Amino acid sequence: MKIPLTELRVKVLKTFTDKGFSEHDANRIADVLLWADMCGTTTMGVVKLIGIEPIQNEKADAQIKVVRDTKLSQLIDSDHAPAPLACQLATDVVIQKAKDHGIGIVGVNNYWCSSAALGYYVDRIAHEDFIGISLSRGGGAMVPFGSADRLFGTNPIAFAFPTNDEPIIFDIATSITTLSGLTLAKNRGQKLPEGFAIDKDGNPTTDPAEALDGAMFPFDHGHKGSGLGLVAEIMAGPLVDSAYCDFQNQKDYGQLFIAIDPELLVDTATFKEQCSDMVRIMKNARKQKGVDEIRLPGERARAAYTQAEASGEVDVEETVLRELGYIS
Amino acid sequence: MKIPLTELRVKVLKTFTDKGFSEHDANRIADVLLWADMCGTTTMGVVKLIGIEPIQNEKADAQIKVVRDTKLSQLIDSDHAPAPLACQLATDVVIQKAKDHGIGIVGVNNYWCSSAALGYYVDRIAHEDFIGISLSRGGGAMVPFGSADRLFGTNPIAFAFPTNDEPIIFDIATSITTLSGLTLAKNRGQKLPEGFAIDKDGNPTTDPAEALDGAMFPFDHGHKGSGLGLVAEIMAGPLVDSAYCDFQNQKDYGQLFIAIDPELLVDTATFKEQCSDMVRIMKNARKQKGVDEIRLPGERARAAYTQAEASGEVDVEETVLRELGYIS
């Protein structure tokens, strides 16, 4: 259902300030959640305030600490702050490192909730004319290729590239859907498609509740998607001193941010111009039969965002708003 | 068929020295090709000396030039040297940058043949205890999601991670198979599976010759695989001053190398230990029904490589050896 953006922001802020968060911190978190909802990504916005890891339940008085700092890098211990707050800070830092030295690489660990939309952070990086990359790992939700144990999280990967218009944003879960996707399906009383998930005993299931106790497959059902999940499990796990492979060590989530200045290799103005040209070429290509429009990564989300911004309203699942007490 | 490694190397060296290459350069190229054949990757070894872009047909007297050089980065103009030669050089440079500053990023452009196996280069980087990343783009071979025009190459992406044993190597084409895969199928008189390819008019085909004139789909048939192809098309295209989107600008191939020292964020010894632990956990996980063994990315290739090394022999397609005149 449609809800005015200002009203949604006020309610999200109250959710956090009621838990002891400052207005400033609540706003930084709300920025991420509202962005995701405005993009029409129903599995990444305020839905993160319900389900199995509600973001507002993290520590309001966390002492976020810098564990390691070099010219190019920083490792941040979140001290169980909400992930979006720690990740906003990490994004500030990675942008500054790239401004100062051409590349920044920043890791975040020690939190136990979703950072919501990776696309938000890489979009911020790309708006500074840098290439933004982010990878995340989380609690067991996906099986590696051949495994019946859920050793990987939904392990999203995101890239953003600056253009002369808005950045190109590619933001995917390496799993076939997200945990929020499963939660939504459960709340709606929907079945999953065949071949999405297994139950905790490794048997195929179409029941989202059983899938939440069990595991999802990689997005391609194959070794390539699984391998990408592993890349995220390493680069947002051991590389940021976070946990890995779920069952053995449920320490926490982890996230890695990389910002690369194209100027290290080419002229940024030309790079952006050519990225814009690629968008034009792809949009104007011959279409496969039955295809109305060729859509680029992030294009549908961008259109939804623009429309939400223009209308001042955003579409959010009624069940989510009700569970949050935002509507009665 | 089995061929002794020493015999295959002598023949490959002759293929290159006959074209005017120095013994040194021929050896650096042979290192890549033999590695790929030893890994059992029938689409990435000496098969690259036949087909539509034989590597030995590139310039033997190319003047490889450094176009841009910073502490962290270098852009290399290959002057139409064989890609494996330029990419060996780029790998030397990216390793040195990472040794000196923690991160290296090196781009290569202006060549017109395959660099063979990305896995080889990232394996070299990981053997220096760095994380190795490489992306490549090439002539049109794959359609972006929804497009009937082959705007992307097979656009491989590779990652390698150091462990206490051999590195974990993840090396995939973002297309459903490779150009060499199509060439091999054509030579063998085989049909392609349904859903792999379209002909030049955009109609589905199982004929590898028509697919070579037409295009392949992304590995997952979907928007995620297509998006990863786009990531490579940008990071090994405009970011390295190479061509992009095939038809509009057939300038050349391009490749990007990144080396990251884990020490920027964590202790390398612990990182390697944890990566080894992940391998152990995944190998010992419960298996899905019908699965004999859980195989990690690159594991099968590593086993083949070790066996080839031990036996002194390597398995290469007989048709390939015959076409090269290596056997009569």
Question: Residue A234 has which token pair?
Answer: 């390493």
Predicted confidence band at A248 (pLDDT cuts at 50, 70, 90)? low
The residue among B103, B163, B248 with the most chain A CBs within 10 A of its CB, best to mutate, is B103
Pull the structure tokens for residue A198. 């297994």
Q: What is the pLDDT of residue B184?
A: 82
Residue of B nearest to A202 (CA): B288
Q: Which of residues 281-320 of B touch A (CB under 8 A)?
A: 281-282, 285-289, 291, 293-297
Confidence of residue B275 (pLDDT cuts 50, 70, 90): very high
Residues of A in contact with B101 (CB under 8 A): 72
B249 pLDDT higher than 80: no
pTM of the full structure:
0.97
Handedness of CA A74, A77, A78, A83 (dihedral sign): positive
pLDDT-above-90 percentage for chain B: 88
Instruction: Show residues of chain A in contact with B145, CB under 8 Å.
Output: 294-295
Of A239, A266, A270, the CB nearest to B262: A239
Cα gap A304→A298, rounded to integer Å: 10
A-facing residues of B in 79-108 (CB < 8 A) are: 101-103, 105, 107
Nearest Cβ partner for A147 among B159, B224, B286: B286
Radius of gyration of chain B, Cα coordinates, nearest whole angstrom: 19
With CB atoms and an 8 Å threshold, state whether A235 touches B131: yes
Query: A144 and B285 in contact by Cβ < 8 A?
Result: yes
Per-residue confidence (pLDDT) for residue B29, from 0 to 100? 97
Q: Which residues of A touch B234 (CB under 8 A)?
A: 161, 168, 275, 278
A72 contacts on B by Cβ (under 8 Å): 72, 101-103, 264
Interface contact A204, partner B, CB < 8 A:
no
Domain-by-domain residue ranges, chain A?
2-264
The radius of gyration of chain A's CA atoms, rounded to the nearest angstrom, is 19
Q: Indicate if the pLDDT at residue B51 is higher than 80.
A: no
Identify the pLDDT of residue B303: 96
The predicted-structure confidence for A39-88, as pLDDT tens digits, reads as follows 998 778 998 898 778 999 999 999 999 999 999 999 999 999 999 999 99
Mean pLDDT, chain A, rounded, equals 95
Q: pLDDT at position B187, please?
A: 86
CATH T-level topology, domain A2-264: Ribosomal Protein S8; Chain: A, domain 1 (3.30.1370)
Alpha-carbon span B231 to A222, nearest angstrom: 20
Bigger pLDDT: B184 or B142? B142
Is A227 in contact with B297 (Cβ distance < 8 A)?
yes
CB–CB contact B148 A286 (8 Å): yes
Q: A224 and B270 in contact by Cβ < 8 A?
A: no
For residue B247, the model assigns a pLDDT of 57
B144 CA: distance to closest CA in chain A (Å): 8
Which of the following CATH numbers is that of domain B62-262: 3.40.50.300, 3.30.420.40, 3.40.1160.10, 3.30.1370.60?
Answer: 3.30.1370.60
> Where is pLDDT greater, at A111 or B176?
B176
- Compute the average pLDDT of residues B282-286: 96
Contacts of A68 in chain B (CB under 8 A): 264-266
Mean pLDDT of B133-151: 95
pLDDT at A181: 85
Confidence of residue B5 (pLDDT cuts 50, 70, 90): very high
What token pair was written down for A19? 């838990």
- Which residues partner with B215 through β-bridges? B198
Residues 214-233 of A with CB under 8 A from B: 219-220, 222-228, 230-231, 233
Arithmetic mean of pLDDT, A257-283? 98
Nearest CB to B147 within list A170, A172, A282: A282
Chain A residue nearest residue B198, CA to CA: A288
- What φ, ψ does residue A130 adopt, rounded to 5°? -110, 155
Mean pLDDT along residues B254-271: 98
**Residues in Cβ contact with A177 at an 8 Å cutoff, skipping those fewer than 6 apart:** A43, A154, A192, A196, A216
Q: Which residue has the higher pLDDT, A253 or A27?
A: A27
A10 close to A30: Cβ distance less than 8 angstroms: no
What's the pLDDT at A246?
83
Per the CB < 8 Å rule, is B147 touching A262? Answer: no
What is the rounded distance in angstroms from the CA atom of residue A153 to the CA atom of residue A140? 5
* Residue A180 scores a pLDDT above 90: no
Long-range contacts of A202-207 (CB under 8 A, 24+ apart): A202/A148, A202/B286, A202/B288, A202/B289
pLDDT digits (tens, 9 = 90+) for B192-218: 999 999 999 999 999 999 999 999 999
All residues of chain B having their beta carbon less than 8 Å from the beta carbon of residue A300 are none
The predicted model gives A27-31 an average pLDDT of 98
Parallel/antiparallel/unpaired status of strands B65-69 and B313-315: unpaired
Q: List chain B residues with CB under 8 Å of A277.
A: 244-245, 248
Any B CB within 8 A of A257 CB: no
Residue type, A277: D
Cα-based distances in Å from B217 to A123, A198, B305? 28, 28, 29
Chain A residues with CB inside 8 Å of B245's CB? 277-278, 281-282
- In angstroms, the CA A49 to CA A31 distance is 14
* Chain A neighbors of B168, CB-CB under 8 A: 230, 234
ipTM, 2 decimals? 0.96
Average pLDDT of the segment spanning B141-150: 96
Say yes or no: B161 contacts chain A, CB-CB below 8 A.
yes
Instruction: Please give the residue of chain B at the shortest CA–CA distance from A287.
Output: B147
| Cα of A304 to nearest chain B Cα, Å | 18
Place of tokens 């085909």: B205
d(CA B16, nearest CA chain A) in Å = 31
Measured from the Cβ of residue B270, the count of other Cβ atoms closer than 10 Å reads 12
pLDDT digits (tens, 9 = 90+) for B53-88: 899 999 999 999 999 999 999 999 999 999 999 999
Test A266 with B68 for CB contact under 8 angstroms: yes
Q: Within an 8 Å CB–CB cutoff, is residue A151 touching chain B?
A: yes
Using CB atoms, pick whichever of B224, B241, B270 lies closest to residue A266.
B241
Cross-chain Cβ contact B72/A102 below 8 Å: yes
**Mind listing the pLDDT tens digit for each residue in B85-125?**
999 999 999 999 999 999 999 999 998 888 889 999 999 99
Q: Which of A322, A314, A227 is nearest to A34 (CA)?
A: A314
- Residues B28-41 have a mean pLDDT of 96
Using the CB atoms, write b or e for B3-21: b if 16+ within 10 Å.
bebeebbebbbebbbebeb
Verify whether the Cβ–Cβ distance A248 to B220 is below 8 Å: no
Query: Which of A146, A198, A264 shows the shortest C-beta gap to B70?
Result: A264
3-class DSSP assignment, residue B236: coil
Q: What percent of chain A has pLDDT over 90?
A: 88
Cα–Cα distance between A316 and A44 in angstroms, integer? 11
B10 and chain A: CB distance < 8 Å anywhere? no
